[in-house]
Amino acid sequence: MKSNKQIEQAYRWARERFAAVGVDTEAALARLSGLRVSLHCWQGDDVRGFESAADAPGGGLAVTGAYPGRARTPEELRQDAEKAFSLIPGRHRFNLHAIYGEFGGRKVERNEIGVEHFRGWIEWARGLGLGLDFNPTCFAHPLASDGFTLSHPDRSVRRYWIEHCQRCREIGAAMGRALGTPAVTNVWIPDGMKDTPADRRGPRERLLESLDEVFRKPLPSRYNLDSVEGKLFGIGAESYTVGMHEFYLGYAVTRRKWLCLDAGHYHPTESLADKISSVLTYVPGILLHVSRGVRWDSDHVVILNDDLLAIAQELVRGRYLDRTRLGLDFFDASINRVAAWVIGARSFLRALLTALLEPWPEYQRLERAGDYTGRLAWMEEAKNLPYGAVWDYHCLRSGVPAGMAWLEEVREYERKVLSRRS
């Protein structure tokens, strides 16, 4: 492991290298320090939640693996998240689904949940200086067992899920009000069909009507930001997804809602990065759910690959960071769950730092001048810049382990805490 002195020496050299190409590393680090990544609660317990009958997630979701140490209570989940946050540079956010309320062992219908079930989460977040985000849970429930919720043909079932989503918006707004930072309340539903439908129109018209009812009550944007999320397909909805990307893009544009772009919710050959400038031409903001699909929407732990770097580059080069909320969305029960959070968050932050350190104004200057040869040459040469030395220094300055030193802390936490969970 590098010593602090070695990290500082390497950073001084890197700062000079970047300055030679017109990049201010201190400005990049200051910008990175202000970015907030929302860690997703469902990585810590395999999307089970804390309802009285918590079980496997359903709704087209599948978590593979049986690594020991899954969080079983809100207290354990908060403890695990705190450990992860302690190993990630910066101050961030935490993203909750509605099934993660503290219900005291009682059965509480989802259309009856309230902010009182999330007071513990709010106080925890306040103590750590975190923001919270929120999501209705329209899956893993008897009234979602046939694969339809807000687009259900039965009006009474639709009403149940409308009321659930309405209550979730109120909870999100209460979180934003209490913590002084608006919560993104993101609506995703699993509605769809396994085989070819005879009627594609009806469910989408019902979904449109339901969403309008969900969002009927205005809530202050300083407390709550409404977001909608599409998907390509799911397990049990391979042939038809009611809320596909085009549906929600149209909804977000016409209703002035934020649009959630999930990296796993498109065809494998589609580029999420390429969609960012397109949708932000029309919608007020985007929520990113950063994931990693392997052959399909498999929600693998995020790594610093070309896809992730392309997303970060588009956000920086297009100057979109101020209109974007950053979040993770994956679940892997085959490895240490705390490590999964840390690997994913640190990878995303490294991608963002790399994008902030690129001499991208020079790329754009050459492009505007029609010098595509120079643009390509600069883009390739920039790959040689010492990004890792700046990242290590950022970790050091943020008071978290640089390099691989964080892994031993996770392993020690596993020995002392996770291994004792039966």
Q: Of the residues 80, 229, 332, 392, which is catalytic? A: 229
User: Cβ of 253: how many Cβ atoms within 10 Å?
Assistant: 15
**Is 332 annotated as catalytic?**
no
Query: What is the number of residues in the chain?
Result: 422
DSSP code string of 35-81: --EEEEGGGTTTS--SSTT----BTTB------S----SHHHHHHHH
Give CA separation, 294 vs 58, 105, 188, 266, 361, in Å: 20, 37, 21, 12, 33
Q: Do residues 107 and 196 lie in contact, with contact meaning Cβ atoms separated by under 8 Å? A: no
Q: Of the residues 42, 161, 188, 406, which is catalytic? A: 188
Q: Of the residues 329, 332, 358, 392, which is catalytic? A: 329
Q: Do residues 393 and 11 lie in contact, with contact meaning Cβ atoms separated by under 8 Å? A: yes
User: For residue 346, what is the enclosing H or E element?
Assistant: helix 337-357
**Is 265 annotated as catalytic?**
yes
Beta bridge partners of 286: 259, 324
Give CA separation, 119 vs 130, 320, 358, 377, in Å: 14, 33, 42, 54
Q: Is the dihedral of CA 86, 91, 96, 102 positive or negative?
A: positive
Give CA separation, 80 vs 44, 95, 127, 290, in Å: 7, 14, 15, 20
Q: Of the residues 83, 97, 152, 265, which is catalytic? A: 265
**Is 141 annotated as catalytic?**
no
**Is 229 annotated as catalytic?**
yes
Q: Of the residues 289, 314, 332, 358, which is catalytic? A: 289
**Is 262 annotated as catalytic?**
yes
Give CA separation, 96 vs 48, 122, 335, 345, in Å: 12, 11, 21, 16
Q: Of the residues 51, 133, 191, 297, which is catalytic? A: 297
Nearest to 315 by CA among 269, 341, 279, 368: 279
Q: Of the residues 117, 164, 231, 275, which is catalytic? A: 231
**Is 212 annotated as catalytic?**
no
**Is 289 annotated as catalytic?**
yes
Euclidean distance between CA atoms 211 and 214, whole angstroms? 5
Euclidean distance between CA atoms 280 and 345, whole angstroms? 24
Q: Of the residues 80, 226, 299, 414, which is catalytic? A: 299
**Catalytic residue positions?**
188, 229, 231, 262, 265, 289, 297, 299, 329
